Amino acid sequence: MNDAELRALCHRFFDAIEQHDVTTIEQCYAPGLSFWINISGKTSTRADNLAALRGGYERHRRRTYDDRIVHTFEGGFFVQYSVNVVAHDGAKNSLWACIVALCSDGQITRIDEYLDSGKFRVPLGARPSAEAAGRDKTAGGAQ
């Protein structure tokens, strides 16, 4: 894939996420896609990631991927961005992230996502201890 094709795939992917267009996201993903995220340190499958995206749509009214800075390299792309989320109750949250995507034959084969972990009091999948939960309540527990 050349530079223009990689950039088009990147924007098609992010635009589809914003538009809740799971069909297009599925087309962007290769059948054997693996998706790693720094917050949990775990690798998930294509099916796992699509389920997570659908779950996010249930929790968020709107999610935009702004300020995209896309760089391409042979076999993939790297994109830095801010993600801005509006929950159904109107609450807003933003964080900064980047993705390194490996691509082949017009599809994404692997994603490594790096989120601004400072935005999370507790790593994804972890449960806070009772002591930490109490401390967060008394200290105001900024998120």
User: Which pLDDT score is estimated for 4?
Assistant: 97
- Tens-place pLDDT, residues 38-49: 988 999 999 999
Task: Give domain 3-138's CATH architecture.
Answer: Roll (3.10)
What is the per-residue DSSP string for the chain?
--HHHHHHHHHHHHHHHHTT-HHHHHHHEEEEEEEEETTT--EEEHHHHHHHHHHHHHHEEEEEEEEEEEEEETTEEEEEEEEEEEETTS-EEEEEEEEEEEEETTEEEEEEEEE-GGG-SS-TT----HHHHHHHHHT----
pTM of the model: 0.78
pLDDT digits (tens, 9 = 90+) for 101-113: 999 999 999 999 9
Domain ranges of the chain: 3-138
